[in-house]
Amino acid sequence: ALAKAEAELKLIEAGELILDLASPIDGTVLTVDAQVGDRINDQTILTIADLGQSLVEVYLDEIDSANVQVGDRAELIFDVIPERTFSGEVIQVDPELRNVGNAQGVRALVLLEEPPSSLVNLPLGLNATVDIIAEEAANAVLVTIQAIEQDSDGSDLVYVIEGEQVEMRLIQVGLKDATTAEIITGLEPGERVAVGGLNFTQE
């Protein structure tokens, strides 16, 4: 170590110090942001990317952190080609929050299913809209959230309209979002339910 330090000192004194920069990944050099003779501190002078994988960096609101897991499917639409939807999979979710603008968010990485050869015309750094699918249901019976009420014991119920009669019926709710809910049991497709004094049909 002493001999190495003495050798480096001689190079410094001679103005010929050369540093070996080791990349942490195998990849392709995209940019070189320094010239011979430049003085550098802690700024980025090389950008290297692994072009063998197509990754999208996603930032989510912190309230969604519990709903995103490795293995979740994702659908992406790049701003420059809005007519095409790409598919991917979440391969990483950071364990800590990051500052995004004036708020904190959760950073995740999505690996696109399309091979890099099909994305050759897409430059790095594009913006995209990303939907991460945490859960899904097929062929589900849906009703508007506004039609669901709760019994005194907390059970979910709806009021089913049959002719001129209204029947209170207990239901089991599955997945739901801000506007609709999946009904697992208690309703059949085509049945009408009351919504705030209105009639609503959902199949």
Least confident range of 14-18, 60-64, 88-92, 175-179? 14-18
Q: Please give the pLDDT value at position 70.
A: 92
Q: What is the pLDDT of residues 74-131, one digit of tens each?
A: 999 988 889 989 999 999 999 888 887 788 888 999 999 877 666 666 777 888 999 8
Mean pLDDT comparison of 62-66, 85-89, 125-129, 161-165, highest-scoring range? 85-89
Bridge partner list, 193: 160, 200
CA gap 160, 176 in Å, rounded: 20
| Cα Rg of the chain, angstroms | 28
Confidence check: pLDDT of 133 > 80: yes
Q: Please give the pLDDT value at position 108.
A: 92
Cβ-Cβ contacts under 8 Å for 150 (sequence gap 6 or more):
156, 157
Confidence check: pLDDT of 160 > 70: yes
